[in-house]
Amino acid sequence: MKAFRSVLIALCLCLPVVSWASSVYVHSIKARLMAEPNFGATIVVTLAKGDELELLEARQRWAKVRLKAQEGWISTLLIKEQPPLEVISVIGSEAISLEGEARLRASDVATAGATRGLTEGEALTDDKASDFDELLELEQQQISDEEVQEFSESIQ
């Protein structure tokens, strides 16, 4: 019985791994599908935020994907397994619950504060309060995809 089990395990290890294609979504407003896995390669096509791509191969920093008949490479920083979320607005709507979103937003503020060297205790002291207020003001700024696109085009 042990010999049979050993042979079965050895056969399983020798078989090629079958990978079922999965989908990933573009999370950047201007992502480029490249011919090779580097930023200096030829651009195959510019992708739009929300485009669904078929994942063919995944590496540490690059993923080989297919969009319709076009194949190429995209940075893994620009894609996720979930589609991008729409902008949430609570103005004029009482049916929306932001409990999960509020916790996420609080975590974002804490992360941004920690990046600037602020801890919760420091933010409450008089000498650091102005920095924390400025951080909160900065966090409340909203930039649309169109503004990002316009800025991106202006610096190229």
Q: Is the dihedral of CA 92, 93, 94, 100 positive or negative?
A: negative
Spatial CB neighbours of 141, under 8 Å, sequence gap ≥ 6: none
Residues 6+ apart with CB under 8 A from 148: 29
The whole-number mean pLDDT for each consecutive block of 10 residues of the chain, a chain of 156 residues, reads 58 43 87 93 93 93 94 94 73 56 58 61 53 72 82 78
pLDDT per position as a tens digit, 108-151: 666 666 666 555 555 555 554 556 677 777 777 788 888 888 88
Q: Are 67 and 53 in contact (CB under 8 A)?
A: yes
Q: What CA–CA distance (Å, rounded) separates 91 from 108?
A: 22
Alpha-carbon span 74 to 37, nearest angstrom: 7
Name the amino acid, one letter, at 83: P
Reported pTM: 0.48
Identify whether the C-beta of residue 25 lies closer than 8 Å to the C-beta of residue 53: yes
pLDDT value for 26? 94
The whole-number pLDDT of residue 149 equals 81
CA 135 to chain centre: 23
